[in-house]
Structure 1
Amino acid sequence: MTAVPIPSQRPRPAAGTFLWGSASAAYQCEGAWNEDGKGLSSWDVFCHSEANDVNPVTGDVAADHYHRYEEDIALIAAGNQNAYRFSIAWSRILPDGTGKVNEKGIDFYNRVIDACLRHGVEPLVTLYHYDLPQTLFERGGWENRTTADAFAAYAEICFRAFGDRVRTWLTINEPGYETFCSYGAGNYPPNVQDLGRRWRAMYHLLLGSAMAIATFRDQGFEGRIGLVSDSYPIETLRDDADYRDAARFADLFQNRCVNDVAVRGEFPAEFIAKLVQDGVDRSYALDGDEALFAAGVVDVLGVNVYDRMLVKPYLEGPTELRNNNTGDGGGPVVKVSGWFQADEDPDTVKNAWGMEIYPRAIYDLLLNLKALYPSTPVIITENGIGYRDVVADGQIDDQYRIDFLAGFVEWMKKAMDEGCDVQGYMVWSSTDVYSWINGYEKRYGLIHVDFDDEQKRTPKASYHWYRELLTKEGVNR
């Protein structure tokens, strides 16, 4: 069952239509890392360095989406999806992060957006998904406040180039998770472990987002604009004062340090007090920034949801943060001194990278978000599961992915029935992609990519399941 019908041209989804689609990110899918005037990104340089020693592969070719975007978007449409979330590579537009615009980069994303519209697929455009131009990275990256200014200027270039066709913009992907990996676990560039530097970088990521949103509104661009947050329902296996404190601190550490700023335009007072208690130098927070954050609140919150976070107290001991990028069956280690540590439910199933399979997470998260931010709609911008898929007789029977996605969709719809304003759902990912430090073994795609045979595409069983689900949901070609 691999045949996919050729999609006929269909109209763009009407404004207000629920968006059912899938997602990708530039470095993970495009390839063409040094073609047509593109500058180097921090990930280009890192993946070619000796520091890339866990799964030493690169995104030089990846899924070759740069050359095969038309095929991929046609497959998305043929799968009955009406939306595609993708990111723009900043260094493809501005090779050095600032300065002269690379017109070939503009041309490429014009072609991608136009292909989406030809196939009746709504483009949701993320401006930044981890891949910082190397020139800016070498100047301190997001620890340097000028990167926020550069981002706002880059965003305006994109608004002007593509804003006549893009109705949903997303500024930054996962300020929390990116900085956790870059400055906590230390597995993303700049590969350090220093939470003080994490908070500085996160502050400037959020500042850049707010400045871009303010520009979007001040310049009168049409559409809606938001930010993408990795968010988790925080739970405990016990209920006492210490566990409740751990849950509250984990919520501040993982969720509210981003979401409150994006939605309310301010950092939680308790979060700032906790940083001060820890002796964090916050000299980067300048007078007048409060107004900048207040002017840059989102129209919509994008939420990447994969699992819940179980926590317990961690009152003594050093901070220890480590991710599992080998798929050896062990879970990540999260111990934050004086805040919380990750707990584990022995009765739930995990994948080989230690991620718990817990579909109810999306329901609990959405109800939490509704309670905290009742006036802000949500788009599920990523949801999916990574596995080592097996090809047998040219087929990929990924029933585990179907079960995972079906469970999350069911719980999402239950939350919607209870009043949660959810306006879209994107599977991660459209095709198999480079999975950051995990390399190519950890696969998420609805469409299999044969990285050893010219990136040949084969829709998986989950692709066909999703197509039938969307038919039942009334998404028609």
Structure 2
Amino acid sequence: MKKFPEYFLWGAATSAPQSEGYSSLNGKSPSTWDKWYEMNPEKFQKNQGPEHTSMMYETYVEDIKRMKEIHMNSFRTSIAWTRLLPDGKTINQEAVDFYRNYFSELRSNGVKPIINLFHFDMPWWLMEKGGWETRESVDAFAFYANTCFELFGDLVERWTTFNEPMVHVECGYLYGYHYPAIIDLKKAVQVGFHTLMAHTMAVKAFKDGHYSGEIGIILNVSPCYPKSQSEEDLKAAELADLLNTKSFLDPTVLGKIPEKLIECLIENELLPKVKEQDLQLIQLNIVDFIGMNYYQPRRVQAPIKVHKPAISPADFYDHYDWPDKKINPYRGWEIYPEALYDVAMMIKNQYNNIAWYVSENGMGVAEEDRFLDENGMIQDDYRIEFMKEHLDQLYKGIEEGSNCFGYHSWTFVDCWSWLNGYKNRYGFYRLDLNNNQRSLKKSGLWFKELIDQNGLS
């Protein structure tokens, strides 16, 4: 038996916009997702927008009972900024009551809440002012964060500021998958820096307020593997790591933006606007722990054609299609569990062995009803195999001293996923879109046994 540490957190993760529903009701104001769906519903899979999702706003009591039934001891979700502060300043009391009841229900069922503040759901009122492009977003987020700490601090022991901040940077300003769906590398860098400062000021508010508990951030980390050991490929891998991983990991954990990243930005005329005290504030407000989302590795090679100054990430590195890869065909993502061991060792050796947990890991599969058995249970052995292989590598990292305190799967109940709607399913529980009913998958039974053993047999 491969036993995990005592008090290990076993659970799942979701977000407010992907699970709550009631996106235009109960005092909530629109996010960029609500408005984008209103303007361009054709961009969304089968016209599945953010209004209904998995409806946990009304089903959370029953869903938490389901968490307890499979013995989960922790759960990560987020607060919707647009629900709590519809205009950025005025508290929506119905939202306060909802979240207090939600978090209290989790705690009373032995499920520790880890609460995240921002999961891609930019308020529309702020987007109209420029969103993360404007410095006003930093102060607005810090005010929102402090409001959350004041209202819910007695119920939450672990907070995180952002989920995958690099995603709203690249998807909104480089690749067109999130609103405003523009392609502008200079703006992307500024958005990234304002996001970093918003995180920093939220951590400062937490520490200045002497709130109990801990505060961290959740990052998507794809270890970078070069095509070869040539100087050019190694340089591409270094730049990919600097831009995609170290840009947030180093300042939030070590308190410093990497010098090589700054040099790269200077060379390409991409330096963001920075205020005088910003770098000192970053240094003084590092996190207590890190959440790491891992799904796939990043394989790169030297770019063939380079613009100077750079106009896109392709000027720093190109994707390399490893011919020996194992792939999830539904997402087009490589399955490479060994990278999770590399993440564990990276944190141990390069980041002061800070406390961390796997905040997301999972396998999205389309048309899962193909695997329904005669009893109505989805036989998702592929998901069990995926998690086993990754937990094997995580266990190896923990055995070698990496300070990991938990593992969260994405996700608990099949959830809505941005432009993809409900195309790919990830949950331990199947969601029937016709009647909103939940039913346990085979992976949920397996996860219960894993938790009971606190280890892999």
Query: Aligned residue for 1:60?
Result: 51
Give SS of 1:471's match. helix
Write the letter of the residue equivalent to 1:83: S
Give SS of 1:48's match. helix
Return structure 1 stretches of 4+ with deviation > 4 angstroms. Answer: none
Query: Aligned residue for 2:317?
Result: 340
Any idea what the Cα deviations from partners look like across 1:264-313, whole Å, max 9, x if unmatched?
1221111111111111152x212111122112210001111111111110
Structure 1 residue corresponding to 2:403, chosen from 421, 442, 448: 421
Matched, 1:221 2:211: yes
- In the alignment, is the contact (CA less than 8 A) between 1:183 and 1:190 conserved in 2? yes
Query: Aligned residue for 2:442?
Result: 461
Task: For residue 249 of structure 1, report the CA deviation from its aligned partner.
Answer: 0.5
Query: Aligned residue for 1:402?
Result: 384
Query: Aligned residue for 2:359?
Result: 381
Structure 2 residue corresponding to 1:72, chosen from 46, 56, 63: 63
Any idea what the Cα deviations from partners look like across 1:13-46, whole Å, max 9, x if unmatched?
xx98221100110111110012211111111111
Task: For residue 317 of structure 1, report the CA deviation from its aligned partner.
Answer: 4.6
Give SS of 1:390's match. helix
Q: Tell me the distance in 2 between the aligned counterparts of 1:403 and 1:458.
A: 20
Any idea what the Cα deviations from partners look like across 1:182-235, whole Å, max 9, x if unmatched?
111111011111121111111111111110111111111010000111011111
Structure 2 residue corresponding to 1:143, chosen from 133, 158, 163: 133
Structure 2 residue corresponding to 1:188, chosen from 178, 181, 203: 178
Q: Tell me the distance in 2 between the aligned counterparts of 1:151 and 1:119.
A: 31
Structure 2 residue corresponding to 1:29, chosen from 19, 27, 33: 19
Structure 2 residue corresponding to 1:86, chosen from 56, 59, 77: 77
For residues 474 and 365 of structure 1, do their structure 2 counterparts lie closer, same or farther at Cα, with a shift above 3 Å needed? closer
Q: Tell me the distance in 2 between the aligned counterparts of 1:337 and 1:25.
A: 31
Which sections of structure 1, spanning at least 5 residues, go unmatched? 1-14, 320-334
Any idea what the Cα deviations from partners look like across 1:367-420, whole Å, max 9, x if unmatched?
112221024111111111111112524221111111111111111011000010
- In the alignment, is the contact (CA less than 8 A) between 1:33 and 1:44 conserved in 2? yes
Q: Tell me the distance in 1 between the aligned counterparts of 2:320 and 2:194.
A: 30
- In the alignment, is the contact (CA less than 8 A) between 1:307 and 1:362 conserved in 2? no
Matched, 1:411 2:393: yes
Q: Tell me the distance in 2 between the aligned counterparts of 1:307 and 1:50.
A: 30
- In the alignment, is the contact (CA less than 8 A) between 1:314 and 1:336 conserved in 2? no
Alignment of 1:189-338 (within 5 A): 189-282=179-272, 284-317=273-306, 336-338=313-315
- In the alignment, is the contact (CA less than 8 A) between 2:327 and 2:333 conserved in 1? yes
Structure 1 residue corresponding to 2:349, chosen from 365, 371, 377: 371
Write the letter of the residue equivalent to 1:464: L
Q: Tell me the distance in 1 between the aligned counterparts of 2:391 and 2:14.
A: 19
Structure 1 residue corresponding to 2:369, chosen from 359, 383, 390: 390
Structure 2 residue corresponding to 1:41, chosen from 25, 31, 53: 31
- In the alignment, is the contact (CA less than 8 A) between 1:212 and 1:296 conserved in 2? no
Write the letter of the residue equivalent to 1:305: Y
Which sections of structure 2, spanning at least 5 residues, go unmatched? none
Q: Tell me the distance in 2 between the aligned counterparts of 1:243 and 1:390.
A: 43
Q: Tell me the distance in 2 between the aligned counterparts of 1:212 and 1:49.
A: 32
Q: Tell me the distance in 2 between the aligned counterparts of 1:429 and 1:140.
A: 32
Task: For residue 337 of structure 1, report the CA deviation from its aligned partner.
Answer: 3.6
Matched, 1:355 2:344: no
Q: TM-score, normalised by structure 2?
A: 0.94
Q: TM-score, normalised by structure 1?
A: 0.90
- In the alignment, is the contact (CA less than 8 A) between 2:37 and 2:44 conserved in 1? no
Q: Tell me the distance in 1 between the aligned counterparts of 2:32 and 2:44.
A: 17
Any idea what the Cα deviations from partners look like across 1:122-144, whole Å, max 9, x if unmatched?
00000111111110011100111
Structure 2 residue corresponding to 1:444, chosen from 420, 426, 443: 426
Q: Tell me the distance in 1 between the aligned counterparts of 2:74 and 2:152.
A: 16
- In the alignment, is the contact (CA less than 8 A) between 1:318 and 1:336 conserved in 2? no
Q: Tell me the distance in 2 between the aligned counterparts of 1:242 and 1:42.
A: 40
Indicate the RMSD between aligned Cα atoms, in angstroms: 1.8
Q: Tell me the distance in 1 between the aligned counterparts of 2:394 and 2:42.
A: 37
Q: Tell me the distance in 1 between the aligned counterparts of 2:41 and 2:195.
A: 24
Write the letter of the residue equivalent to 1:311: V
Q: How many residues align?
A: 444
- In the alignment, is the contact (CA less than 8 A) between 2:73 and 2:112 conserved in 1? yes
Write the letter of the residue equivalent to 1:465: W
* More helix by percentage: 2
Alignment of 1:165-176 (within 5 A): 165-176=155-166
- In the alignment, is the contact (CA less than 8 A) between 1:62 and 1:451 conserved in 2? no
For residues 175 and 159 of structure 1, do their structure 2 counterparts lie closer, same or farther at Cα, with a shift above 3 Å needed? same
Query: Aligned residue for 2:454?
Result: 473
Give SS of 1:172's match. strand
* Identical positions, percent: 33
- In the alignment, is the contact (CA less than 8 A) between 2:114 and 2:158 conserved in 1? yes
Any idea what the Cα deviations from partners look like across 1:233-256, whole Å, max 9, x if unmatched?
111231111111011011001100
- In the alignment, is the contact (CA less than 8 A) between 2:224 and 2:297 conserved in 1? yes
